[in-house]
Structure formats: C-alpha cells, structure tokens
Structure 1
Amino acid sequence: MWKWETEQQPKAVIVILHSVYEQHRWYAWLIEKFRSAGFHVVMGDLPGHGEQEKFARYHDEDFEGYYKYTKLLFKVALEYNLPLFVVGHGLGATIATYVLQKKKLDCAGIILTSPWLTLKLTPGKLSNALSSFSVITSNVKLKHELTLQHFTRNTDVLMELKEYLPLTNTVTVKWYRDWQQVTRIIRDSEFKLPNVPLLVMTGENDKITDVQATKKWAYEQTAHSEFQFKQWKGCMHSLYFELEREEVFRYSVDFINNALRDLGYIIE
C-alpha cells in the first residue's frame, strides 16, 4: 500500500478501496484531488490486483484476504491520529461495509459509490446455478462481460485506463459464491453500519449494479445521525471517472467537511 500526504495542514486521512478488476493507479486523479484539498490518502491494491494481476488469467482470491488487507489499510491510516474517512467503490464499497460493521473501527465517515450489493450484469450466464453446486464446480471460470465502457462515458478517462489493460474480468465460481455470501450478510435487515455520517452515491445509468436495490438498502441504514443518498443523473458505474467527476468530488468533500465540523473542527 502507499501513502500520499498533503502539503497543507491535514484535515483528515482518506482510505480508498477500489473495486474488483481495478488497481490504485486508476485513482491517481482522485488521490491528487484529495491531497490537494488537504487530506492524507492511504490506498493500495486488493490482493490479486495491481502488480499481482499482471500474469493472472482470472480472480480466485479468498475474501478473507480482502478483509485482512482492508483492516491493514485502516490500521495504517489510524496511525496519523486524524479523523478517518473511508471511500469505497464497487466491490471495495462492499468489502469496506462488511469490515466496518464487523470490526467497529473508529471512523469519522463513510462514502460508498456504486456498491456491489446486487448485480445486474453477473459473471457468466450460468453463474447463479453454478454457485449453488458442490465444491466440484469451485474452480469453474466465469467470464464477466464488463468493458471499460461500462464504467464511464468520459473518453479522456477511457484513454488513460487503456494503459492498464488487459482487463482481467474472469472469476471462479468460488469467488462468485464468496461474493454472494458477503452480500447476503450485508443485505440482511439486521445488518447495520456504525452510526457515523454515511454517504451512498450511485449513477442513474449504472449497467453493472442494481441501483434500486442499492437505494433500498441505503435507506435501511437511516438510523445514522447523518445519512445522504445521491443518484447522479446520466452517470454510469464509476462516478469518480465520469464527466461530472469534479462535481462528484466537490459533493464528497462537502460531506467530509460537514462531518468534520460536527466533530468540532474549524473548516474554512
């Protein structure tokens, strides 16, 4: 993992968790935006991603490895002794949600964008059937028919992301079954995140996740003292890559600054 420190007096530290098939380099723009706005940033690559993904043909990582990695990210960020905000996207949002609920970490706020709770575009035509079969099917490979065009309409970003192709978008049945298991836990009516400020954002034209299912789940978290749900008109799955990403970023920073004010910090 890596740390990017602001040159200003730091207001807080941001932990960013990327989605499956991605890597931290995809988030260079967002990292620099947060750093320039007065925040330290801690981020790395999920196990099996980034450099580890270069020669991989598919994803079969253990989700326990994802959770362990996430806890380590949080531990490193908390060493700054600053308010901690978690920004999770896609699968990263799902993993962050699970770990935050289980570990009860001391964080100042949570931002989840397009969390993978219910998928419209699933890996493999037979994924739902195969995922219920015996251990014999665990290593069966499922092609997830995602392309960069599912992420954003922003052609400039698409050109940047092509530097990091090929997109390894095949998973095993075991991986898919593990994802199903964690989302069942998160979508359970008894599941509640820590009572800290929560912002959930989706794109109106997300072709990957079920936006309505996400919205329903988000409003079940309204026991939070501060909760916001924002659906961005015309946007696709990856809000921080979209044409409107400057607006999305400003909205995120306003949320963070308001949370810091509530904690007694003076934010100019």
Structure 2
Amino acid sequence: MWKWEADGQAKAVIAIVHSAYEHHRRYAWLIEEFRSSGFHVVMGDLPGHGESALNKQAHDEDFQSYGTFINHLIDASLTYNLPVFIMGHGLGATLVMQMLQEKSIECAGIILTSPWMHLHIHASKLSSALANMGKLAENVKSTHEITIKKLTRNYDVYTQDKDDDLYNTTITLKWYRELQHLMKATTAKQESIQDVPILMMTAERDKIADPTFAKNWLQKQQLSEIQYKEWKNCFHDLFQEPEREDVFYYTKTFVNNVLRSLGYVV
C-alpha cells in the first residue's frame, strides 16, 4: 500500500481502487491533483496486478483476495483519523459496490466511475466455453481485448500506456467466471446499501461497460444523497480523458460539499 500526503493541512483521505488489468501508476495525474488540493491519497495494486503481473501468465487470482485488499486499503486510510472517501473505477467500482452490499463501511462518501455491471467486450474463446464449463476448463487462457485505445481518447495517454508491460489482459476461464458472477450478483441484489453519499460518473461513449446498468443500480438505492453524471463524448477512463480536469473539479466539489455537510471547514 502506498500513501501520498497532502500539501499542508489535509482535509480528507481518498482511497482508490483501480480497475482490472491496470495498476496504480496509471493514476499518477489524479493522485497529484488530489494531493495538491489538500487530500491524502492511499492506493495499491490489486492482487495479481502491477509488478506481480509480470510474473503471471494470466489473471487467475481469487476475487476474495480483492475484497481482502480493499479492507486493508480502508484500514490504512482510517489511520489518518480524517474523513475517508472510497473511489473505485471499472472493476474496482463494482468491487466497492459489492462490499457496500455486504456490510457497512466506515467512510464519508463513495465515488464510483464507469462500474463494470454489463460489458460490451467479452473475452475471446471464453463466452462459448462458459456454457460447457468444467473443472478441466478452468485454467484455459484467453485475452480480454480491453485495449488502451478503447479506454481513452487522450492521445498522450495512449502513446504513454500502449506498450505498458504491467497492463495485462490475459485471463483464465475461472477468473472470467468469477467476474461474470460478481457483475450478475451485484446487479440483482435488491436491498439498499448503507446510507452514504455517492457520486457515480459514467462515460457516454464507453466502449467497455454499459452505463445504463450502473445508473439503474444507483437509482435502486435508498440514499439521502446521490449524484449521477454522464460525461458527454467521453470514453471509459474518465480521469485519463481530455476532459479530466473538468471531471476532477466535479469530483472535488462533491467531496468538499460532503465535508461541509459533516461540519468541516473547507
């Protein structure tokens, strides 16, 4: 787990859970924006991601390990004795949503961007294999064609990340089955999560996930404070897009408003 501390007096802590296949280094711009705006940032790489992905042929880690990781992330954030905001992107957003459905989390607010509830892109060779899945097929490997070019329109980000050795989309049938189960179970659950302020942002031209499923999930929650924003023309990775400064300002405004409602001077 890594910590980046705010310039001067910190107002709150932002705990970030990244999406599948990527790693914390892709969030360098966002981390610096939060840090320079008066927030501590806590983040790490999901199990099987980042440097550890270099030693793996495919993602086959248990999804329970992701939940354990997020618990550690939250615990590390709470050590500052400041309000904590949990941010999840893509698969990370869905993992946070699942955790909120299972238990109450000590936090001031939740920020969800482009949750994976229903994907436009399916792993090659695996969709048909799901129908006849057995133990022998669990280690079958495939590529999930979620390329950097499909994540963002930002050419500078594309040229920087297109040859990233740590970005690994090779998966096993077992991993893909767990992903499908996570999305289906999270979508189907009817009970509302704890009453915590939530900002959900999606992308109008998301090539990875269908934003209508995430919006429908949010509307089912019985919460006192929700915000939903669909960013016009944007692709999946909102904080990598050409409009990312606007996206960040919108996010910071949500966080500051929640802090004010809690009695903090912002």
Short-chain TM bin: over 0.9
Gaps of 5+ in 2: none
In structure 2, how many angstroms separate the alpha carbons of the residues matched to 1:132 and 1:260?
A: 51
In structure 2, how many angstroms separate the alpha carbons of the residues matched to 1:43 and 1:246?
A: 20
Residue 36 (structure 1) aligns with: 36
TM-score normalized with structure 2 length? 0.95
Does the CA contact (< 8 Å) of 2:94 and 2:117 recur in 1?
A: yes
Change (3 A) 1:8 1:213: same
In structure 1, how many angstroms separate the alpha carbons of the residues matched to 2:28 and 2:132?
A: 38
Deviations 1:43-70 (A, max 9, x none): 0000011110113221111101111011
Does the CA contact (< 8 Å) of 1:12 and 1:84 recur in 2?
A: yes
Q: Higher mean Cα deviation, 131-140 or 202-211?
A: 131-140
**1:79, distance to aligned residue in structure 2 (A):** 0.8
Residue 138 (structure 1) aligns with: 138
In structure 1, how many angstroms separate the alpha carbons of the residues matched to 2:131 and 2:102?
A: 25
Does the CA contact (< 8 Å) of 1:153 and 1:236 recur in 2?
A: yes
Residue 105 (structure 1) aligns with: 105
Gaps of 5+ in 1: none
In structure 2, how many angstroms separate the alpha carbons of the residues matched to 1:260 and 1:128?
A: 48
Does the CA contact (< 8 Å) of 2:114 and 2:202 recur in 1?
A: yes
Residue 229 (structure 1) aligns with: 228
Residue 164 (structure 1) aligns with: 164
Alignment coverage as a number of residue pairs: 266
In structure 1, how many angstroms separate the alpha carbons of the residues matched to 2:248 and 2:239?
A: 7
Residue 262 (structure 2) aligns with: 263
**SS class of match (2:22):** coil
Does the CA contact (< 8 Å) of 2:23 and 2:50 recur in 1?
A: yes
Q: Higher mean Cα deviation, 96-105 or 13-22?
A: 96-105
Give the residue type in structure 2 aligned to 1:254: T
**SS class of match (1:54):** helix
Give the residue type in structure 2 aligned to 1:123: A
In structure 1, how many angstroms separate the alpha carbons of the residues matched to 2:168 and 2:247?
A: 27
Which portions of structure 1, spanning 4 or more consecutive aligned residues, are displaced by more than 4 angstroms? none
In structure 1, how many angstroms separate the alpha carbons of the residues matched to 2:104 and 2:136?
A: 36
Does the CA contact (< 8 Å) of 2:59 and 2:170 recur in 1?
A: yes
Once superposed, what is the RMSD of the aligned Cα atoms?
A: 1.5
Give the residue type in structure 2 aligned to 1:242: E
Does the CA contact (< 8 Å) of 1:130 and 1:137 recur in 2?
A: no
**SS class of match (1:110):** strand
TM-score normalized with structure 1 length? 0.95
Residue 245 (structure 1) aligns with: 244
Does the CA contact (< 8 Å) of 2:42 and 2:77 recur in 1?
A: yes
Q: Higher mean Cα deviation, 93-102 or 150-159?
A: 93-102
